[in-house]
Structure 1
Amino acid sequence: MTLPARPPVPALAVMAVIAVLPFGGAVSIVLSVAFLAMALPAAIALWFLVTDQRPVPASLLLLGLGLGVVTSLVAAAGGVNPGEAVIRVVIACIALGYAVGIAMAHRPGFEHGGLDLLVVMGGCVGAYALSGAGALQAAAGGWVVDGRLTGPFSQPNELGIFCAGLLPVAVTCLVTARSRARTVVLAVATSSIVLAWVLSMSRGAWIGGCVALVAIAIAVPRTRRLLRRAGAAAVATCVLALVLPTGVPLLGILGTRLRSMGNTGANEYDARPLIWGEAWRQISDHPWFGVGPDGYRVAATDSVSTVSAYGADHAHDLYLTVLVERGVIGMTAGIVVLAGCLVAGRRHLLAQAAAARVDDQESAVLSARSLAVLAGLLAIAVHGVFDMPLWNPIVYVFTWTLLGMAIVAETVPLAGSARAAVPTVRTPQQEARTTP
C-alpha cells in the first residue's frame, strides 16, 4: 500500500489555532495565546518548504500579503517607533507563515471540517458575549450606548467585526451541512453569532455584515431562502424599533442607534474627524513608507498634532491606517491582495455555475464555502471604513484564517480543470516505506 502523501498534521495544527480562538486574547509570556498558536502551523509550513516537501502556493493573494510584510519591515526600520514596531513585524511574519500553513493543510473535505469548526468556535465566542449582557442605555442621540456586549474582546467594535466576518461563513455552512446533527450544531452557533452581532451595537459591523450577506445571497443561490426569511424578520424588527419610543427596553435603544447613523453631528465628543485629519498630516509627511507599524500614536504626540490630547492609537480607519503605517507602497501591496480575492471569487463563481449544470454537489459546496470566506473578508473590509479593530488578537487571527482560506480558494484545483488530477508526491522516506 502507499502511505498518504499529505499527512493530517498541518490540518490539525490549523484546527488547533481555530479551537483556541475564544481564549486567544489571554497573554502568555510575551505574546497573546492566539499569536503563539499561529506559530505552530507557520513552523510546519517552514519545515515543508525547507525540506522541499511542499512548494509555495502560486497565489496572487499570497504575493500581496508577502509584499505587505516586507513593506512593514522596511517601514519599521525607517519609522518613528522602530522599537515597538519590531513586535508587530514579528507577528506579521508569523501570520504570513500561518496563512501558508493553511494553504498547505488543505485536503479534500477540509473546507467542511475547518469552516464548521470556525463557526462553532464563533458561536462559543458569541455565547460568552451574550452571557454578559446587561442593561443598555443610549446617550448623545444614540452615538453612545452604555452596556454594549464585549465578550472576550476589549471593546464592542471588536466583537462586532468578528461576528460580521463570520456571518456569511455561518450561513453558508448551515445550508451546506453534511448531516442533520451538524445542521443543528451550526444553527445554534449561527444564532449566537447573529445575536452577538446585533447587540454589539457596532454600526460599522452592522453595515459590513449586511453587505457581506447580500453578496453571499447573490453569489450562492442556495443561501437565498434562509437569508430572505432572516432579512424579512430583520427589516420588520428595525421598523418596529424605529417607531417605538426610545424608552422601550432593547428595541428603543436599537431604534436610537439606527437613527444615529443618519445624524452625524449628534455626538459633540466624537474625535474621529480630528483623528482622520491627523492621519492625513502624517501621510503627507511620510507618503511612501509611512511612519511604521504602531507609529501613528507616536507621531500624533508631535507638537503640531491636533489630537495629542486624545491618545489615539490608530487612525480609526483601516485604509488610512495602512497609508499611515506603510505609505503608498504598503497600500499597493493591499491592492494586490484585493486582486487575488477578486481572482478567487471569479473562478468560484464560474465553477459554481459549471457544477450546477452537471449537478456536481461536492464542487458546488466547495465553491459556495470559498465564496463565503471571501464574503467574510468583504465584511471586514467594509467595517474597516469606519474603524480599525483588527489588532485585537482574536480578530487578527480570525482575519488571517480567512486570508489563508482565501489562498486555498484561489489555488485549489477545481473539478474539470487540468490541475484537478494532481499526482501523488512522495518523499524518499515514504518511497522506502511503500510496500508492494
Structure 2
Amino acid sequence: MTQTIVGTRASAPVAAPARVRSGRVLPLAVGGVIVLLPFGGISVPVVGMSVVDAAMAVPAALALRALARDEARLPSSLILSGLSLGLAACVVSAAVGVDPGDSVKLVVISLLTFGYGLAVAQAYRPGLEIDGLDLLVLVGGIVAAMALVSAGSLQAVDAGNVVTGRLTGPFSQPNELGQFCAALLPVAVACVVTSGSRRRTAALGLAAALLATACVLSMSRGSWIGALTGLAFLAVCEPATRRVLAAVGLAIVGTICAAMVLPTTTPLLGVLGSRIRTLGDPTQNQYDDRPLIWAEAWRQATEHPWLGVGPGGFPGVAARSASAVSADPPDHPHDLLLTVLAERGVIGVALGAVVVAGCLLATRAQLFAAPRPGSAPRALRARSLAVIAALAAVLAHGAFDMPLRNPIVSGLVWTLLGAAIVVESNRGEHPRW
C-alpha cells in the first residue's frame, strides 16, 4: 500500500508508515477545534488564551511531530511559503519592535494558528472535503443561531450611521459576527449544492439561512460587501452554484428594494434601508474615528517602514504619540492592510501578497483542470473554489475592519487557509493520501 504526499507527483509514491495510514488522531484533533468554535469567547485562566487558541495547540503539536518523525512532508504550496515566511517575519518584527513585550502574546498565538493551519493541510483525506466542510458549516450555523437568539431591538440613529441592538452573539462586537458569517456563506452554498443527500441538504440549508440572517442583522456594512464579494467570486468560477446563487441574488435584490422603498420607521426593513443608504457616503458618520485611526496607522508605517512597530504594538505607540487617538487608542487600525503595514511593515505586506498569489494560482488550477466524470470530482472542485471565495470575502471585509484577532474568526480563517493549502497542492487533481 502506498501513499502520495501533497506536493509530490502521483508517479512517485512514498511508502506510508502504518501509523499515518490508519491513524485518525490528527483529523479528529482538527475537528475538535472546529467543534469548539462557538465557545471561542471563553478564556482559559491558566494559559490566558481562549478555548479555541488553546485547542489549536493539540493539532499543531501533532503536525510538527509528524514532520519531525518524517511521517509527513511540507506541501508544495505558495500559500504555505507565504504563511511560514510571514511567521518568521512576525517573530523578527516583534523582537525589533518598539515594545517587544506587547507582541509576546500575539507571537505565541501566531505560532499556534500557523501550526493549526499546517495540521488542517496534513489532516486531509479524500472525503474530508465533504465531511470536514459540512461540519464547519453546521458549526457556523450554530454560532449564527446563538447570535440570533440574543437579538435585541434594532434602531437606527444618525440616519443609519449608528444602529443600536446589533447582533453580537458569542463575539465581542457585531463586525466580528459579520465577518464570520460572510466568510462561511460561499462554503455553505457549495456544500448545499454538492451535499448528495436530502438530510444533509436540509441541515446545511438551514445553517446557510441562519448565517445569511445573522450576517444581515449584524448591520456590518463591511461584512455585506465581503459576503457579496465571496458569493460573486463563487458564481463566476463555479457553474454548479449559479442556479442557487441566482435565487440568492434575487432575494437580496428584493430585500434591498423593499428596504429602500419602505419608510425608515418600518421595523427591521426601515433600519436596513437606513443602513444601506449610508454606503453612499460613509464619511458622514460623526461617531466614526476610523479616518483618524487610519492616519495614525500611516504615520507609524512611515516611521517604521520595513518591519513595523511590532505585532500588537499599534495601541501602545499611538498612546505615546500626539495623534488625535492617543487618549483612547484602538487595538488595531480597523483595516487589514494598514494593520499589517503599521505592525509588520512592507515586508509583512509583501509576504501577505504571496499568500494572495497562492490563492489565485489555486483558483487558476481548479478552473483549468480537465473535467472528470463523477460526483466526487465535481464536489471537490466546487468546495475547493468555495474555500478561496471565503478567503476573498475575508480580504474584502478587511478593507473596512480588522476583526481577525477574535479567536472564533481566527479559528475559521486558519481552517480556511489550511484548506486552501490543500486546494493549491492538489493542482486540480484529487490527491491520494
SS of equivalent residue, structure 1 residue 390? helix
Q: What does residue 364 of structure 1 align with?
A: 378
Query: In structure 1, what residue type is equivalent to 2:34?
Result: I
Query: In structure 2, what residue type is equivalent to 1:408?
Result: V
In structure 1, distance between residues paired with 2:130 and 2:80: 22
In structure 2, distance between residues paired with 1:421 and 1:27: 39
Kept in 1, the 8 Å contact 2:125–2:432? The answer is: no
Structure 1 runs, 4 residues or longer, greater than 6 Å off? none
Identify which of 70, 83, 86 aligns with 2:104: 86
Q: What does residue 43 of structure 2 align with?
A: 27
Cα shift at 1:5: 2.0
Q: What does residue 408 of structure 1 align with?
A: 422
In structure 2, distance between residues paired with 1:383 and 1:201: 13
Query: In structure 1, what residue type is equivalent to 2:240?
Result: R
Q: What does residue 277 of structure 1 align with?
A: 295
In structure 2, distance between residues paired with 1:245 and 1:270: 25
In structure 1, distance between residues paired with 2:59 and 2:51: 14
Q: What does residue 14 of structure 1 align with?
A: 30
Q: What does residue 187 of structure 2 align with?
A: 169
SS of equivalent residue, structure 1 residue 245? coil
Q: Does 1:317 align with 2:335?
A: yes
SS of equivalent residue, structure 2 residue 163? strand
Cα shift at 1:6: 5.2
Kept in 2, the 8 Å contact 1:128–1:152? The answer is: yes
Query: In structure 2, what residue type is equivalent to 1:368?
Result: A
In structure 2, distance between residues paired with 1:42 and 1:359: 36
Deviation sequence 1:330-354 (CA, Å, 0-9, x none):
1111011111111111111122xx2
Kept in 2, the 8 Å contact 1:140–1:266? The answer is: no
Deviation sequence 1:254-285 (CA, Å, 0-9, x none):
00000011123432121111110011100110
Kept in 2, the 8 Å contact 1:282–1:324? The answer is: yes
Moved more, 249-258 or 213-222: 213-222
Kept in 1, the 8 Å contact 2:160–2:271? The answer is: yes
Kept in 2, the 8 Å contact 1:363–1:414? The answer is: no
SS of equivalent residue, structure 1 residue 145? strand
In structure 2, distance between residues paired with 1:255 and 1:6: 55
In structure 2, distance between residues paired with 1:177 and 1:264: 40
Gaps of 5+ in 2: 3-17
Cα shift at 1:133: 1.0
- In percent, how many aligned pairs have the same letter? 54
Kept in 1, the 8 Å contact 2:167–2:218? The answer is: yes
Equivalences for 1:178-327 in 2 at 5 Å?
A: 178-327=196-345
Kept in 2, the 8 Å contact 1:18–1:121? The answer is: yes
Cα shift at 1:140: 1.5
Deviation sequence 1:324-380 (CA, Å, 0-9, x none):
0100011111011111111111111122xx22xx42321121111011000000000
SS of equivalent residue, structure 2 residue 280? coil
In structure 2, distance between residues paired with 1:421 and 1:45: 18
Cα shift at 1:311: 2.1
Kept in 1, the 8 Å contact 2:161–2:278? The answer is: yes
Q: Does 1:376 align with 2:394?
A: no
Kept in 1, the 8 Å contact 2:126–2:432? The answer is: no
In structure 2, distance between residues paired with 1:278 and 1:322: 13
In structure 2, distance between residues paired with 1:336 and 1:43: 26
Kept in 1, the 8 Å contact 2:177–2:215? The answer is: yes
In structure 2, distance between residues paired with 1:310 and 1:6: 54
SS of equivalent residue, structure 1 residue 294? coil
Query: In structure 2, what residue type is equivalent to 1:167?
Result: L
Equivalences for 1:98-109 in 2 at 5 Å?
A: 98-109=116-127
Cα shift at 1:415: 4.0
Kept in 1, the 8 Å contact 2:259–2:270? The answer is: yes
Query: In structure 1, what residue type is equivalent to 2:332?
Result: H
Q: What does residue 355 of structure 2 align with?
A: 337
Q: What does residue 142 of structure 2 align with?
A: 124
Query: Alpha carbons of 1:53 and 1:198: their partners in 2 closer, same or farther (altered >3 Å)?
Result: same
In structure 2, distance between residues paired with 1:253 and 1:384: 24
Q: What does residue 404 of structure 2 align with?
A: 390
Query: In structure 1, what residue type is equivalent to 2:38?
Result: P
SS of equivalent residue, structure 1 residue 5? helix
Gaps of 5+ in 1: 423-436
SS of equivalent residue, structure 1 residue 300? helix
Deviation sequence 1:213-241 (CA, Å, 0-9, x none):
01101111111111111211110111111
Kept in 2, the 8 Å contact 1:81–1:294? The answer is: no
SS of equivalent residue, structure 1 residue 313? coil
SS of equivalent residue, structure 1 residue 142? coil
Cα shift at 1:56: 1.1
In structure 2, distance between residues paired with 1:92 and 1:387: 19
SS of equivalent residue, structure 1 residue 410? helix
RMSD of equivalent CA atoms = 1.5
SS of equivalent residue, structure 2 residue 152? coil
Query: In structure 1, what residue type is equivalent to 2:289?
Result: A
Number of equivalenced pairs: 415
In structure 2, distance between residues paired with 1:331 and 1:165: 21
SS of equivalent residue, structure 1 residue 159? helix
Q: Does 1:62 align with 2:87?
A: no
Kept in 2, the 8 Å contact 1:172–1:372? The answer is: yes
In structure 2, distance between residues paired with 1:306 and 1:258: 29
Q: TM-score of the superposition, structure 2-length normalised? A: 0.93
Kept in 2, the 8 Å contact 1:241–1:252? The answer is: yes
Cα shift at 1:141: 1.6
Q: Does 1:42 align with 2:56?
A: no
In structure 2, distance between residues paired with 1:224 and 1:338: 24
In structure 2, distance between residues paired with 1:273 and 1:143: 15
